[in-house]
Amino acid sequence: MNKLGSEFLKEFDNYERPVLFGATFRQVVLILGVVIGVGIAFAILSLGQSKNVMLITGVILALPVAFPFILYGIKKDEDLKEYVMFKLKVQKRSYQTDFQKGDDFTKDDFKNWKKIKEINEG
């Protein structure tokens, strides 16, 4: 079957099936990323450093490790991929107009002339 126009809705048969304990693969990856991030934060907390050092090392270590997992788990990777592909592709658009070639306007074509009145004064 030929499809005309843009396809905005995904196919209904293209959904993710459960992989582990009723969770989809994306949900498993999301949970894994959260567990890794919390594990790194707990390991830093158990070292007994000052709060500023814990915060800085936590941001440096936990966020870059857990961020890709969470990004994939909440399906933002597809949106990010579409946005990047839209920005990188050359946008060529063609428009159909009613103007004939050679219809050039001058600067006086749209002036409101004083001798033309919209109402009858009489």
Q: pLDDT, tens digit, for every residue of 50-83?
A: 777 777 777 777 777 777 877 777 777 788 888 8
What does the pLDDT read at residue 49? Answer: 73
Residue 28 near residue 20 (C-beta atoms within 8 A): yes
Single pTM value for the model = 0.47
Residue 37 near residue 45 (C-beta atoms within 8 A): no
Give Cα 99 to chain centroid, integer Å: 36
Whether 36 has a pLDDT exceeding 60, the answer reads yes
Higher pLDDT: 87 or 41? It is: 87
User: Within 13 Å of residue 121, how many CA atoms lie on the same side as its CB?
Assistant: 4
Virtual torsion, Cα 51, 52, 57, 62, nearest 10 deg: 60
Whether 96 has a pLDDT exceeding 80, the answer reads no
Which of 22, 26, 54 has its CA nearest to residue 40? 54
What does the pLDDT read at residue 24? Answer: 79
Whether 4 has a pLDDT exceeding 70, the answer reads no
Secondary structure letter of residue 11 according to DSSP: P
